[in-house]
Structure formats: C-alpha cells, structure tokens
Amino acid sequence: MTLQLISGKRNQLLTIIACLCAISLCLCGTVSAQNSQRTGEINTTSSRVYTYVGKTGFGHEHAVIGEIKSGIIQLGAAHNAGEIVFNMTTWKADTPQARQYIGLKGTTSASTQSEVNANMLGAGVLNVRKYPTSTFKISSALPLKQQSSNGKTLYQLDGTFTLHGTSRKIRVIAEVSETNQQQHLRGSFLIKQTDFGITPFSKAFGAVGVTDELKIYGDIYLTR
C-alpha cells in the first residue's frame, strides 16, 4: 500500500512537471514570435510606393504602384538607420489605386496598362529580370524642428538610393503620424532616370514619351 501511494504521488508530480514544461514552451514561443517583429520593421502588407511619370509630346501621364519586399527604419537614428528593399517586379502602371493616390483623373484600359507595364518592366527601361529590386540604404533618420502643415512630426532621411544597378545620394522629408499602433510615414523625392542609366521611354521619333524626372512617393507603415 505504501509503495503504491508513493508511486501514485510520483506520477502526479511528474504530470505536474510535464504540464509546467509545456506551458513554459508555449510562453517562450509566444515571446519569440513577438520579438521576431522588430520595432521599426516595415509592414509590407499595407505599405506601398507610388511614382508619378510625366509626359512629353503627345504622351500620357502615368501613376505607378509598387510593393516593398522588406525593410526597417529606425527613426531618430543618426547612423545605420535602416534600409528599404523595393520589389521592382510588382510595379504596375495606372491602377485605380495608383491614379487616385497621385491625383490623376480618369481610368486606363486593361490593354493600355498591359502595354505600359511591358515597356516599363522590360529591358529597355527598368529591366526587372536583371534588377528585380532597388534599395534605399538609410544612413540617418533625424527629426526636424519644424512640423508639417498638418502639425505632424517631420523626419529627414538621408541615404543612398540604388536603382538599375546605379547608386545616388538622396534626401527624403517624411511626415510621421501614429495610427493603429503603427507609425505612418509619408514622403517623396525626385530622381532623373538618366542619372540611373535609364533612357526615358519614347516612340514615334520622340513625339510620344515620358519625362526624365520622376516623383516617387513612399506610404509606409512601421511596427512600434
């Protein structure tokens, strides 16, 4: 009887220990999952990049939308403030969302969108097969003393933008607001295609084409 009682208590103790170990593993897994999403990491699901493409001759203005592959921005950092990796293969011209964001009126037919996308992504322009990504390596992301016209905090992001295999220094002034436990950044910068070894698209001996200068907008959400 005594041996059976001791054995029973031992089994109960082992069962309790096993349960505690299982709970500990679950908690560790939860903490690990939470820690895997770093502060300042870009939410690639909701973040987008837009580009305004002007026209030359009898050409048309275009609005382009693209996705972000990965990235992190450490606001307030004076050095090594992060990096944004753009997925150039996702660039799409003249979607309703892109045209609305840029502020272009009207819509574009599916056939015209397909033609513009083929030209834009092809070897003659972005050449996404050879250069599937572009990057913005952010050296610093410091707050400015002045605020935006909406009373929001402004940050100055300095760094190197690499597109089409060519790198150039750029500066972005980004407006930052808090929303849904995230930080929302909105900013823009100008580039010239020729500065990155890209020849602006044109046809009909230049009668139809796009401008050399592009305006790129970032609409980015960061984890807090």
Distance, CA of 126 to CA of 64 (rounded, Å): 13
Of the candidates 123, 122, 131, 219, the residue with the CA atom closest to the CA atom of residue 176: 219
Q: What's the confidence (pLDDT) of residue 130?
A: 98
Q: What's the confidence (pLDDT) of residue 77?
A: 98
Alpha-carbon distances, residue 203 vs 56, 59, 75, 105 (angstroms): 11, 9, 43, 24
Q: What's the confidence (pLDDT) of residue 127?
A: 97
- Asked if 100 contacts 160 with a C-beta cutoff of 8 angstroms, the reply is no
Q: What's the confidence (pLDDT) of residue 34?
A: 43
Q: What's the confidence (pLDDT) of residue 141?
A: 98
Q: Which residues contact 115 (CB under 8 A, 6 or more apart)?
A: none
Of the candidates 98, 165, 91, the residue with the CA atom closest to the CA atom of residue 135: 165
- Asked if 166 contacts 159 with a C-beta cutoff of 8 angstroms, the reply is no
Query: What single-letter amino acid sits at 4?
Result: Q
Q: What is the DSSP letter of 69?
A: E
Distance, CA of 1 to CA of 35 (rounded, Å): 51
Residues of the chain with pLDDT under 70: 1-37, 205-206
pTM of the model: 0.82
Q: Which residue's entry shows tokens 């109960």?
A: 12
